[in-house]
């Protein structure tokens, strides 16, 4: 089964909209957490996450962990501002 998914955070966890590329079937499920989303019975071949949500998660984890920027990486404006 060739299935792709788009996900976004919602009050109940993660809203996952899937489309079967073979027959066009579209389904939606709310998973209570990311672990349940990733470990679903038949995981999609692609999971696309909302760009704003991805940026928020990366921003929050970097601030929490206080990760240094490796010296070999170019200094990006978004890295400098965070």
Owning domain of residue 73: 53-82
Evaluate if residue 68 carries a pLDDT over 70: no
Q: Are residues 5 and 34 in the same domain?
A: yes
Evaluate if residue 75 carries a pLDDT over 90: no
Q: What is the pTM of this model?
A: 0.60
Q: Are residues 45 and 27 in the same domain?
A: yes
Q: Are residues 60 and 36 in the same domain?
A: no
Extract the tokens encoding 27: 């389904």
Q: State the pLDDT at residue 65.
A: 47
Question: For 15-64, how does the pLDDT look when each residue is reduced to its tens digit (9 = 90+)?
Answer: 999 999 999 999 999 999 888 988 888 888 888 887 666 565 566 554 45
């Amino acid at each position: 089964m060739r299935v792709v998914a788009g996900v976004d955070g919602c009050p109940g966890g993660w809203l996952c909209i899937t489309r079967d590329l073979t027959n066009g079937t579209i389904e939606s499920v709310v998973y209570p957490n990311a672990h349940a989303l990733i470990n679903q019975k038949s995981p999609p071949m692609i999971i696309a996450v909302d760009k704003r949500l991805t940026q928020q998660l990366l921003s929050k984890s970097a601030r929490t962990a206080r990760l240094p920027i490796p010296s070999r990486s170019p200094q990006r404006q978004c890295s400098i501002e965070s």
